Amino acid sequence: MTYVDPGSAAARPERVARTMLRGIERRRRVVHAVPLHSLARMLAQRFPPSSDAPIERAVAVPEPLPATPNFAPTAPSVVPVPSEFEEALAPLARRMERVKLSPAFVRGLLESEERIELGEAAMRWAGMPNKNERAALREVLDALAAAGYLESDGEETWIVRRAPA
């Protein structure tokens, strides 16, 4: 592993993070977070023999870490596999978060009812729902219908076909 000497032209992490976020927001394929480093990389690719010495001076190899006798490797992290219910809601997760519609509330609708009416469910969830909240709930119910949890029974009603596992 190598690192750049703090006395060199290292960039501040905050600046690099801001530049990277801006690149992501603008969907840039390439982001030059540190233009000076990008220029050095380009020159190194074009003129390898003349760039080796300056790069070797700028990069240092750290000393190895001392061995610790009580070191125990950590167990591999287990990544939870999303359930079919969570997968059905995944495309709407950000929208649900913005309107504060919890998956637990939606799960409760599927477990306790045989028929879901949009207006009544929206009233229970948001009190006096605005049209944005009502539209978000409708999108969630439509997604669950597409996943086989519900069956549409008219414009604003659904019949529960199965409860989430």
Residue 33's pLDDT is what?
73
All domains of the chain in start order, with CATH? 7-60 (no CATH), 84-160 (1.10.10)
| Confidence (pTM) | 0.52
Residue 4 has pLDDT above 60, yes or no: no
At 9-27, the pLDDT tens digits run: 567 788 888 888 888 888 8
Residue type, 137: L
Average pLDDT over residues 79-89: 85
Least trusted range by pLDDT, from 28-32, 43-47, 98-102, 126-130: 43-47
Angle at 140 between CA 136 and CA 142, to 5 degrees: 115
At 132-141, the pLDDT tens digits run: 999 999 999 9
pLDDT band at 2 (very low <50, low <70, confident <90, very high): very low
pLDDT band at 3 (very low <50, low <70, confident <90, very high): very low
Residue 90's pLDDT is what?
92
Residue 94's pLDDT is what?
93
Q: How far is CA 71 from CA 67, 74, 75, in A?
A: 8, 9, 12
In this prediction, what percent of the chain has a pLDDT beyond 70? 74
At 27-80, the pLDDT tens digits run: 888 777 777 767 777 777 777 777 666 666 666 556 666 666 665 666 666 777
Residue 13's pLDDT is what?
82
Residue 39's pLDDT is what?
72
Mean of all residue pLDDT scores within the chain: 80
Secondary structure of residue 39 in the 3-state scheme: helix
What whole-number distance in Å separates Cα of residue 133 and Cα of residue 139?
Answer: 10
Sorted by sequence, the CB contacts under 8 Å of residue 60 that are 6+ apart come out as 2, 3, 5
What whole-number distance in Å separates Cα of residue 90 and Cα of residue 85?
Answer: 9
